[in-house]
A and B are shown apart, each in its own frame.
Chain A
């Protein structure tokens, strides 16, 4: 059974309009960062979200972490609807879902030592008494590769970026969550230490059995780490596939462009042509239908209606009229 299922979740924000527009009774402006999003994460799975700025990946994280509420739709965690929770249930939910942040330089309180940083969440959530904390926190520090005898008493400024991110991971894992949401956790780290932090995340997911939602704009990192990857564009889910299928046979025109644009550390690599046109729009008052259509080389009239998610291969789903039409023609 899926640990987490997201069903038709939508998030709309109403944003201000000018005085002139208000006086002329023009309709308000809407930002629609997430539109009818459905997906699920299996127990122990690492699922990646890739997309450009404004695609809704961070809003999705915020909704799942209950930092903001969805406008409509529901989220099931372990079969239980967690869209609206009482404060007691919310506290319980928050011990089971933890976040790892992007910036290890900003996300740690500079006045707390590593031990207290890791102990902060269990103390706030009143999970254990102090002796229990004193037992568990050093074990967690050792688990993430920071020997407690050397690191427990260090402040963030006495650690390197990679070590700080390990503290961030330790404080997310100490409460034994079942889902970890990681929002670009390695993008601020140097290349030579990134791999170590990614390994830590994957190994601990295997050993502790938690699921992970890993958000990044870097497809090469995602495909190395994740079991499956979903592609989002301006709030809509366009394609979901295993890492291998997504890179080797991307179906959606946008995914194809994304894969083709990834920098490859091989000077002899011949990049496939990228056909999409125009610039990325903002998700303000988006037109109905497929939001990628204005930039799509294969756009048709039918694209002004929202394409449904269709399975094109086992475990590989795409929301694109052109892909489905081509597939139907092939079958016929």
Chain B
């Protein structure tokens, strides 16, 4: 297991009280896999990434029963060692809006050379060679190293940021929303490139997005996040064929597909809970058409529902009935 988190909680301090953005999350990522994390805005995806990379504000509490990465206990690893051994070298981030993350007044290649030299004692010449190699991996011509960011298109800038993240061949590459803002054709090309990168370097990829189409195409396993928790986790194909959690069923209903033109889209009524005042029970209970009294009172634990699959729902025993009912619009909107 490359990364293992048990009962991870991240609590932001604010003047309006504490906000628990990640609330008891269990997550594990194996070597050489693409793990897709899907969820809506405010579900805690980005907070999870920030907590892993220690990018959260100083007063934020990060707690967990287990937070282990490649044999290191990340909860106790001193900051100096984290920065020297883990950040960039073992876990690297391609940030959200990566397209705007390059310095506009410095040549793209020079920025990556600088990143290499900040984290290692590589000579300028060696670093330059490495950048050329990385450009090749992400599908940019090495001549482009001497260009400025404004001479790059959005997709090219994104690929340059991926090149920078790959500098030390990290064991885990985290990509936070790599595709929004990109045009469809550019996005398709980027996803193809992500698959190719994965063949060439031995990294695992944690891909975070709200687009289940992107997940379907790239991920080996998928985690569905809602209100700070992982509500369902499964290999990609079974997850799409037979969801176990009502929220996953709802997401599938709401997402349009050009393969099913006549299908009526069904939205999920309501909105996510306020995380500064989180519900005692299941986070999805307020929007779930299959809710029982017990759902509001106690939080359902994640249980194994099939090989390699977990779902955090009290009603897993009735799943056949729930799947059939979830396909009907009246179930969600009566």
Contacts and interface: CB of A to CB of B under 8 A. Distances in A.
B271 A267 contact: no
Interface string A257-282: 11111111111110100101001100
B69 to A, nearest CB: 28
B168 interface: no
B250 A244 contact: no
Contacts of A223: 256, 258, 261
A181 B183 CA distance: 21
B211 A198 contact: no
A199 B213 CA distance: 21
Interface string B249-281: 011111111110100011111010000000000
Contacts, number: 125
Given A52-B184, A274-B188, A263 B216 contact: yes
B29 interface: no
Interface stretch (A213-221, A303-311, A314-322): A213-221
Contacts of B261: 223-224, 243-244, 247
Contacts of A221: 256
A192 interface: yes
Interface string A266-301: 111101001010011000000000000000000000
A197 B265 CA distance: 11
Nearest to B156: A279
B237 interface: yes
A194 interface: yes
B237 A267 contact: yes
B187 A224 contact: no
A199 B265 contact: yes
B214 interface: yes
B185 A194 contact: no
B240 A267 contact: yes
Contact of B183 (A52, A193, A276): A52
B265 A264 contact: no
Contacts of B265: 194-195, 198-199, 224
Interface string A94-112: 0000000000000000000
A214 to B, nearest CB: 13
Interface in B181-226: 183-188, 191, 210-217
A326 interface: no
B87 to A, nearest CB: 31
Nearest to A53: B183
Interface residues of B, number: 40
Given A52-B185, A192-B267, A263 B214 contact: yes
Contacts of B40: 190-192
Contacts of B237: 267-268
User: Per DSSP, are chain B's interface residues mostly helix, strand or loop, or mixed?
Assistant: helix
A222 to B, nearest CB: 9
Contacts of A192: 40, 250-251, 254, 267-268
Contacts of A218: 184
Interface in A175-201: 190-199
Contacts of B188: 260-261, 263, 271, 274
B41 interface: yes
B60 interface: no
B30 interface: no
A160 interface: yes
Nearest to A188: B41
A198 B254 CA distance: 11
Given A247-B261, A280-B153, A258 B217 contact: no
A197 B256 CA distance: 13
Contacts of A209: none
Contacts of B253: 195
Given A190-B41, A263-B214, A274-B188, A220 B267 contact: no
Given A264-B213, A274-B185, 12 more contacts: A52-B186, A193-B267, A193-B268, A194-B267, A247-B261, A258-B184, A259-B258, A264-B258, A266-B257, A267-B240, A279-B186, A280-B185
Interface of B: 40-41, 153, 155-156, 183-188, 191, 210-217, 236-237, 240, 250-259, 261, 265-269, 271
Closest 5 pairs (CB-CB, A-B): A263-B213, A196-B267, A195-B265, A261-B188, A195-B267
22 contacts: A162-B271, A163-B271, A191-B40, A192-B250, A195-B253, A195-B267, A198-B265, A217-B184, A220-B257, A223-B261, A247-B258, A247-B261, A261-B188, A262-B258, A263-B187, A263-B214, A263-B216, A264-B217, A266-B240, A271-B217, A276-B185, A280-B185
